[in-house]
Chains A and B, each alone.
Chain A
Amino acid sequence: MTDTPADRLARATPPAIARRVRGLGDRAIAWIFVAPTIFLLLAINIFPLIWTVRLSFTNFAANRPGREVEWVGLRNYERILTDERIWANMQTTAHFLFWTLFFQVVIGFALAWLINRRFRGNDLATTLIVLPMMLSPAVVGNFWTFLYQPQIGLINYTVELFTGIPASSFSMLGPGGLAKWSIIIVDTWMWTPFVMLICLAGLRSIPDYIYEAAEIDRASKWRQFWTLTVPMVLPFLMLAVLFRGIENFKMFDMVVLLTGGGPGNETLLASIDLKREAFEKWRTGYSSAYAIILFVTVFGLASIYVKALNRVRER
């Protein structure tokens, strides 16, 4: 084997320098790898967002591009924040948010706890239970209107079967106050598995020896549940609530196909109202301000929540 001076030099060169000579440096590669993603996000997320902010100070209407655009300052924001109708929508959104989270946490946690009994076939059950949340909310939401039909729908029929209340005497999506619960039912059906999966990960992360130690200390099962299981799953549960909270604050597709915001304005969630203002009434400036208010609300609530979550995690 010949050993040329060049080979000896190559071996003596520290790898870092050798790399720089032979190819791109790490720093260059880092930037080449990250830049396209950042650029895309700037172009399709941040630039539009800044544009929305700018539009929110004008009276621009996208369906009348010829009209002179006036700068109206904060008037759009003022009108939105003092509009009682908007506050009613916010209440509708809050109602939806609160009850969907409540049911999903309770049922999701209970299911995870049961599945964690490790009975035979629990893996198969988990996979089947998860199916609804992976499906298109629009397509599924649309089909639920069929299940909710007063005359022929499966839901009303089942209610009649078990309670004797005639199927045609009530309408899940019609007037009578049931609609805002109907959308909660569908959302809970769809997203309980999400909370369940995350809780299950939390439950499985608890090492057995903790329970063994508790058993030696003669702690009752009930006490073990409240002082061990619940606190250890809490960070996971809170993470699940964060994800679902953000998603449901933005909720649009499933509900728009179920009720379209109706009857009346009973299920008019903020996103659906925003869509009406922006793409049906074409009040672009006004709805831009509306969009900014919603975005700031989500972002603000999420940040506060993340702080609380971190505090729980540190404990």
Chain B
Amino acid sequence: MSGWSVTEPSARSKWIAGTLVVIYTVITLLPLVWIISTSFKSGPDSISYPPKVFFQPSLEGYVNLFTTRTRLGAEDFAALPPPETWYERIVRQQGMVIAGPSRFGERFMNSVIIGFGATFLSVFLGTLAAYAFSRFRIPLKDDLLFFILSTRMMPPIAVAIPIFLMYRTLGLSDTHLGMILLYTAVNVSLAVWLMKSFIDGIPREYEEAALIDGYTRFQAFRKVVLPQAVTGIAATAIFCLIFAWNEYAFAVLLTSGKAQTAPPFIPTIIGVGGQDWPAVAAGATLFLLPVMVFTILLRKHLLRGITFGAVRK
């Protein structure tokens, strides 16, 4: 584009705006940078005053995250053979020995299983329902859509009480299946609304042409609409996954051992005299990093996702 425009901001105003936004960006990212840098600090470095910006990097946090450790008496400790592995050496430097693996790996896997299970189910159900809402005349359509959205307004604790009782009766408490169903129920409203906004954007003419060519409605859906909706499905899936991944209230109330996910677990990582901050930060880093990557992949659809499809760019 060439030529002068009244709506194009001046170079000076761009420069000022850019500087202010960069300042905000740096400040807002500082806590995240601090999480990642703390995860590479040793225990004493993490709690030094003044806070250390430059430090000797250490994998102590990560080792502590994945192990449980015990302290031995001074004589027993001195009598130990030299450490065989790098992680044993790191634990010995803290004056302890490895007692066994921690539960972090398990909790992380629970998050993966429950997150992907719930995402698959909610996107599957949501896509079908969204297609029907987008293409067919359904009695009370707007009321049904609003009903689906309104389930999202309930405070989780409000439904947690009967769900707790229901799951206890059905034997679903603290199971993967129970959590998958629950997260699906919470996510499906997002999946329906978001997928509807994507499917509304696919011209009907493609399907109509396919129907005239002799496809059944179901074939037209599978072979014409679904391939066109792939981007929407992927974006919806990532949003559902991030929600299930981050969820805390239901997880802390309805799971205790077997099916507990990472968010209720990470805050309980205790070291000597309080929380073991490098280990907490290491857990947080491993847990948050995938979401950061997904957010960057998702940036074009972010707006649509967070508004349930109400605002499209």
Contacts and interface: CB of A to CB of B under 8 A. Distances in A.
B157 A136 contact: no
A130 B295 contact: yes
Contacts of A122: 18, 21
Nearest to A43: B185
A62 B280 contact: no
A23 B129 contact: no
Interface stretch (B87-95, B97-105, B242-250): B242-250
Interface string B276-313: 01001101100110011011100100110011001101
The interface size bin for chain B is 35 or more
Interface stretch (A49-57, A75-83, A95-103, A170-178): A49-57
Interface string B140-154: 000010011011111
A164 to B, nearest CB: 14
A33 interface: yes
Contacts of A268: none
Interface stretch (B3-11, B55-63, B76-84, B229-237): B3-11
B86 interface: no
Interface residues of A, number: 106
B29 A128 contact: yes
A230 B242 CA distance: 33
Q: Which secondary structure dominates chain A's binding surface?
A: helix
Given A38-B144, A52-B161, A134-B295, A152 B47 contact: yes
Interface SS majority for chain B = helix
A48 B20 contact: no
Contacts of A143: 31, 34-35, 280-281, 284
Given A119-B21, A121-B18, A152-B51, 14 more contacts: A37-B129, A48-B162, A48-B166, A55-B161, A118-B9, A122-B18, A127-B296, A129-B25, A136-B245, A201-B303, A208-B5, A253-B249, A271-B249, A291-B161
Interface of B: 5-7, 9, 13-15, 17-18, 20-22, 24-25, 28-32, 34-35, 38, 46-51, 125-126, 128-129, 131-133, 136, 138, 144, 147-148, 150-166, 181-182, 184-185, 188-189, 192, 211-212, 214, 216-219, 221, 242, 245-246, 248-249, 252-253, 262-264, 266-267, 275, 277, 280-281, 283-284, 287-288, 291-292, 294-296, 299, 302-303, 306-307, 310-311, 313
